[in-house]
A and B are shown apart, each in its own frame.
Chain A
Amino acid sequence: MFLPTLFWLAAVAIAGVHARSSAGDSVLVVVEPEHQAKYSIFFQNIKDRGYELTFRAPQTEEPRLVEFDAPKFSHVVILAPEIKSIAKDIGPQGLVDVLSRGVNLLVALPQKQSPLSAFAAEFSLILPPPNTHLISYFPERNESATIIPVAPSKDHPILTNGITPIWFSGAPHALSTNPYLVPILHAPAQSFAGEPDSPGDVLADAAEKGGEGLWAGSQLGIVTGFQASNNARVTFVGGREVFSDEFAQKEINPGTKSGNTQFVNDIVAWTFQESLVFRVDKVEHRGLNTPISSDKYTVNDNVIFSAYISKYDPQTSTWASYSGIDDLQLEFTMLDPHIRTALLPESETPGKYSVTFRVPDRHGVFKFVINHRRNGMTYLQSSTTVAVVPPRHDEYPRFLSAAWPYYVGAMSTSIGFVLFSALWMARDVREEKKGKTE
């Protein structure tokens, strides 16, 4: 009895020290064994952050990603995109399945035809035809046109501020308008997708064909995230070279190392649920003049609704109250929202957001709904059902001035009845009789 408890405590303590992610610290890395050494800096960095790496070759079956119908790993990194035949449990179907169970994925996209192309298409990414590269002749440099320095945007919430440009080599992808996509890095404006040795006419021909003929410009993505509605995250990287030791150590300017290491750390932090992770701790609601919560309100009551929100802090692996969301909204919904109002942070209590409003004069089953979706942030969702009832029979206003005549009428009838009864019974019967006989 005592021993298991001790073991449990120890396990919790160790987990508390190590895991930086809010979702768990076991990572499955799918990479060909012969290429493993090419990404040693990347792997060492993840290990240093407290993750446990398990390596697996793409064609082997072991170790399994899902065992006894439960995912064995919290995160999956796929650095072997070019493989034609990939084991079934890490194929597109298997990956979508584990994603829907909350496993986070970091996927390097293929440049050749591979099962992962179909996987990316599931997430509204449109990949260029196989064997195309991102090419840019800008800026003038000694590297080949397919090895491109890319400057991340300055104030991206996922990336460290002031990150140095990174080296990129791989294929771009077009983004659909799907709002679940989180663009992290766009292709440079001067770049385009093509084959390095093709004649110039090919591009003009492709454009004339229309549709997705030409792949060019800064609307293309090269690193793109996707946050599913269950808050699991996927990040697609246009080329696995971004993770390589070679690019991490390559100089972007004479004397300055590239930002690849920092960039990869940033996207790993986002993908593995370290950064921009929020949660609704609890919600409360009560009538304005009643101290305790109720699951029933009368129409036209005034109600206070409060939500407590915290943000995950990867440095200490704890949740801390967070008051920084300024566009939170509360809906009071019966089929349609009847009221939608801002849920503003309270200055006295950190992490508390509250609002007071008057319950609509419609009775029925209502819900307090928070559905806060912002690009890149954990979706905050909460729904609490309450009943809104009409006033009870004795809760309506009474002694209305408009009813005075009715009150007076009823009372004078009563008084008249008592008076008449008293007079009739108290009269002298014999006097009457006498009068009659006379």
Chain B
Amino acid sequence: MVRLLPISLLFLAAIVQAAKLTLQSPRIVITTAGSSAPLHTAPLSLDNKILSPVTLNHTDTLKLTFQVVDEESGKGVQPHQTFLRFYDAQSGEEGIQPIRVTISGKAKFELVMAKPPSSLPPTTSAPLLVTLLIGTPDYSPLSADLFDLYVLPSQPAPVHPEEASFHPLPEIQHTFRPEQKLPPRPISAFFALAVLAPWTVLLTLWSTYAPRPKHLFSPRIFPFVATLAAFEGLLFWYWVALRLGDVLLYGAILGLVAFFTGKQALGSIASQRLGRK
């Protein structure tokens, strides 16, 4: 019972209706610069939105007039809050424009598109829903969707410089340098053969005049020739697999060998030439 009491009190209180407000002769008039005749005039209704949306150009002016009156006595009322709310449902942008109401409840508002008020939110191609909000003590509040308003798109709302880092950033791909291009293998093979061509000349000439390598396998000459061949083999091995350190080590050993074998071989040739034998 005790728990129910405040509920029933609230219920009773809710039944007590506050006085109601209504609008007298609300209408919009659209004029354009340079002509005094109105382009469009329409009465407004608190219950329904105007079906056809209102479109404004840069040069147009929208004039909204009404009188706020007490529904029962018909006397004018100056409300505490008389706002026109522009709302873009797509972007969520909202602007509120207070309307000046005289003590007798008469109100007049002009929206000059040549000089739009700061209360007009940044617009896109989507319409703005225009809502009239009236609130004042001792009366029921009044909220009415009046019409959809199309205006030309404005600059977008300013964005904080760090805002972008709070959203996924665009992906970045690295542009790689193109792969090195090799000429076709047949061309390389052709030129390799061209490099080998002088051998045919050499071998032809050698076949006509061939000095006989008579002493090649003599024990004095052959070790030096073999050492020289080993040097060339070492360089080939270096190209294919070895590191510099290994080459220097093996080269030093071979060099020592070449010193003695060379001394012996060249010495023997010299003594042959001088006919000491």
Chain A residues within 8 Å of B, Cβ to Cβ: 135-140, 142, 145, 176-180, 189-190, 192, 196, 198-201, 203-204, 206-207, 210, 214, 216-219, 251, 254-255, 300, 327, 329, 331, 337-342, 358, 360-361, 371, 373-375, 400-405, 407-409, 411-412, 414-418, 421-423, 425-430, 433
Contacts and interface: CB of A to CB of B under 8 A. Distances in A.
A361 B176 contact: yes
A204 B100 contact: yes
A423 B225 CA distance: 10
Nearest to A145: B137
Contact of B85 (A189, A198, A254, A433): A189
Interface in B237-277: 265-266, 269, 272-273, 275
B172 A371 contact: no
Consensus secondary structure, chain A interface: mixed
Nearest to B271: A429
Contacts of A412: 195-196, 198-199
Contacts of A137: 80-81, 135-137, 141
5 contacts: A341-B172, A400-B182, A426-B215, A426-B221, A427-B214
Given A200-B80, A429-B269, A179 B87 contact: no
A373 B96 CA distance: 32
B126 to A, nearest CB: 17
A339 B195 contact: no
Interface of B: 6-7, 10-11, 13-14, 18, 78-83, 85, 87, 94-101, 118-119, 133, 135-137, 140-141, 143, 157-160, 162-163, 165-166, 168-174, 176-177, 182-183, 185, 188-189, 191-192, 194-196, 198-199, 202, 211-216, 218, 221, 224-225, 228-229, 232, 235-236, 265-266, 269, 272-273, 275
Given A138-B135, A179-B162, A418-B229, A214 B98 contact: yes
Contact of B221 (A140, A404, A417, A425): A425
Nearest to B162: A179
A415 B231 CA distance: 11
Contact of A139 (B98, B133, B141, B163): B141
B172 A340 contact: yes
B89 to A, nearest CB: 12
Contacts of B275: 430, 433
Contact of B176 (A203, A358, A417, A433): A358
Contact of B141 (A140, A204, A331): A140
Contact of B171 (A196, A342, A415): A342
A145 B166 CA distance: 37
A429 B81 contact: no
Contact of B195 (A198, A374, A408): A408
B143 A138 contact: yes
A423 B211 contact: yes
A332 to B, nearest CB: 8
Given A179-B166, A300-B176, A426-B215, A189 B94 contact: yes
B81 A200 contact: yes
Contacts of B98: 203-204, 206-207, 214, 216
A137 B141 CA distance: 6
Contacts of A140: 18, 140-141
Contact of B14 (A142, A178, A199, A422): A142
B213 A361 contact: no
Contact of A214 (B78, B119, B176, B189): B119
Contacts of A409: 195
A428 B13 CA distance: 138
A154 to B, nearest CB: 14
Contact of A135 (B81, B99, B235, B265): B81
